[in-house]
Structure 1
Amino acid sequence: MTATQVPGPTDVGSMYDRFNDLFTRHLGDNLHLGFWSDDQDGATAAEATDRITDMVADRLAPAPGTEVLDVGCGSGRPAVRIADRHRTHVTGITVSAHQVRLAHARPGAGPGAGRASFQLADAMALPFPDGRFAGAYAIESLLHMSDRAKAVAEIARTLRPGARLVVLDFYQDGGFSAPESDVMNPVFQAFRLPPLPCSGQYEQYMAAAGLEVTGLEDITGNVRRSHRLIADAMQNISDELDVDEETRGQIRRYVELNEIIGLHPEVHYALITARLP
């Protein structure tokens, strides 16, 4: 069985510097999964991924004029959408310098309510004072953290009393077989992913950080279509683009990762809401 090396923030940032444009060109601006209510739901991928953003914002329920933190903002589309729809200010952070540049250039970026600002920062060592934010969210970004407990504690430190944290991410309920691990570990390493958290770990991290979990929604079945769409898109990228063999191999491993994680019965996708008393 092969071992997985735990990535650091620089590793993750370099990966997104390299692949962000490739991903968004073929998958859209939202670098997260989409939500479909059932198999008959005719929403496009863009509509379904915006739905996920809206679900996070609805549970966060930011008050107009307040400031919230987007942990792992990507190129800024979710932050700008939430800021505009809720008339709040969103401060987005990412470890990718390229994503910061893209986010700054996005319409809706800037100071003030209804807009979003962006900066390079590590969630495991946030450069913000205690109690700054009226809320925070992390959409599939804690997945990359080498110390998720520390990241959750840092986010909680920057929240005001009564503020909410909304996390959307994967977890595994049970282990993987040795053959599955031998396939998954190189893929996790290529895309800078530590091993998946186990069932209940996010709740443990939140409790240790002084947060009360108020909701846990398993929406695994509602996002499975995303894995099929991503796998198809990434296979097309691998087949059609003029890229070097290392990049082609990483893209194909990403396809494998989506197929394994997206359909594995032990892998779940949860929307978790917590509150700082």
Structure 2
Amino acid sequence: MTAPRIPAPTDVGAMYDRFNDLFTHHLGGNLHLGYWTDDQDDATPTQATDRITDMVADRLLPAPGAEILDVGSGSGRSAVRVAERHQVHVTGITVSTHQVQVAQGRPGAGWGAGHASFRLADAMALPFPDGRFGGAYAIESLLHMSDRAKAVSEIARTLRPGARLVVLDFYQDGDFSPPETDVMHPVFEAFRLPPLPGAGEYEQHMTTAGLEVVGLEDITGNVHRSHQLIAKAVRCIAEECDLDDERRGQLERYVELNEVIGLHSGVHYALITARRP
């Protein structure tokens, strides 16, 4: 099986222009996984995905009035929530024109503390001066980037001394088996994902960028329920979108993989916190 093609930012933007609304519909209005404390937790998808947002923001330790960078702000729900809850201004960036339009239409979009603003921008070439932000976070967005080291370096450059970067994302510890590769690589290509980062890769990028890693939490076991929600969204894509039979079959097999095992045992979901000295 040929490895997935490395996506350009325009590829990722076009994918989210097309699928953003479908994913957010199944993920409680957000565009990331949710956190459930255990199997008895009866939180709704909206409550669980908002809980993830709050976990990220709390680790930022944001000072009231600070400006925070949201890298990959999606439809803007997380940015507005962080801004209102912590009385900061969040600047959200995305490579999707549609996402900017959706986010700018949200109540809470605007300028100043308690509000969030949104713009098109590529995290691998941030259009901001050194030391602008009092914190930054990236929720499942670095995953799409062809040069994650460059993205982390750019984010670090824009942080003030003492500011934190919180990354929530997947990493891979071990290889896919050949049958799993046959399923996963086409899915990676369909959803504009380069190969997953390896264990320790994000931490190394942070250290190289001059950041100090101060926290690493593996919360893989708390997000498994989200994979059922993603499976529903992918099934809708396979059934409703203009796909050839081969790609539709690959997506349907991916749905089966999600529903049966949730996620490959070698793939983890981690919350990583770093600080600029």
CA–CA separation in structure 1 for the residues paired with 2:186 and 2:128? 35
Matches within 5 A, 1:133-148: 133-148=133-148
Checking the alignment, whether the CA contact within 8 Å between 2:143 and 2:196 is kept in structure 1 is yes
CA–CA separation in structure 1 for the residues paired with 2:64 and 2:190? 40
The residue aligned with 2:275 is 275
The residue aligned with 2:220 is 220
Amino acid at match of 2:184: M
CA–CA separation in structure 2 for the residues paired with 1:179 and 1:106? 43
Shift of residue 47, structure 1, vs aligned partner:
0.3
Aligned partner of residue 53 in structure 2, secondary structure: helix
The residue aligned with 2:120 is 120
Q: Identify which range, 248-257 or 164-173, moves more after superposition.
A: 248-257
CA–CA separation in structure 2 for the residues paired with 1:130 and 1:245? 43
Checking the alignment, whether the CA contact within 8 Å between 2:27 and 2:33 is kept in structure 1 is no
The residue aligned with 2:78 is 78
CA–CA separation in structure 2 for the residues paired with 1:265 and 1:32? 20
Residues paired across the two proteins, number? 275
Deviations 1:64-121 (A, max 9, x none): 0110000000010000000000000000000001100110000000010000000000
The runs of 5 or more residues in structure 1 that have no matched partner are none
The 3 A distance-change label for structure 1 pair 251 and 80 is farther
Q: Calculate the TM-score normalised by the size of structure 1.
A: 0.94
Shift of residue 34, structure 1, vs aligned partner:
0.3
Deviations 1:194-213 (A, max 9, x none): 00000000010000000000
Shift of residue 4, structure 1, vs aligned partner:
1.4
Shift of residue 24, structure 1, vs aligned partner:
2.2
The residue aligned with 1:67 is 67
Aligned partner of residue 69 in structure 2, secondary structure: strand
The 3 A distance-change label for structure 1 pair 23 and 254 is farther
The 3 A distance-change label for structure 1 pair 258 and 89 is farther
Aligned partner of residue 103 in structure 2, secondary structure: helix
CA–CA separation in structure 1 for the residues paired with 2:38 and 2:75? 29
Shift of residue 257, structure 1, vs aligned partner:
6.9
> What percent of counterpart residues are identical?
77
The Cα RMSD (Å) is 1.9
The residue aligned with 1:24 is 24
The 3 A distance-change label for structure 1 pair 151 and 237 is closer
Matches within 5 A, 1:148-167: 148-167=148-167
Checking the alignment, whether the CA contact within 8 Å between 1:94 and 1:100 is kept in structure 2 is yes
Checking the alignment, whether the CA contact within 8 Å between 1:191 and 1:254 is kept in structure 2 is no
Shift of residue 26, structure 1, vs aligned partner:
3.5
CA–CA separation in structure 1 for the residues paired with 2:182 and 2:210? 37
The residue aligned with 2:242 is 244
Deviations 1:98-145 (A, max 9, x none): 100110000000010000000000000000000000000000000000
Amino acid at match of 1:133: F
Runs of 4+, deviation exceeding 4 Å? 236-239, 256-261
The residue aligned with 2:98 is 98
Checking the alignment, whether the CA contact within 8 Å between 1:168 and 1:269 is kept in structure 2 is yes
Aligned partner of residue 68 in structure 1, secondary structure: strand
Aligned partner of residue 101 in structure 1, secondary structure: helix
Matches within 5 A, 1:31-46: 31-46=31-46
Deviations 1:205-256 (A, max 9, x none): 00000000000000000000110222134425645x5x43449828646636
Aligned partner of residue 193 in structure 1, secondary structure: coil
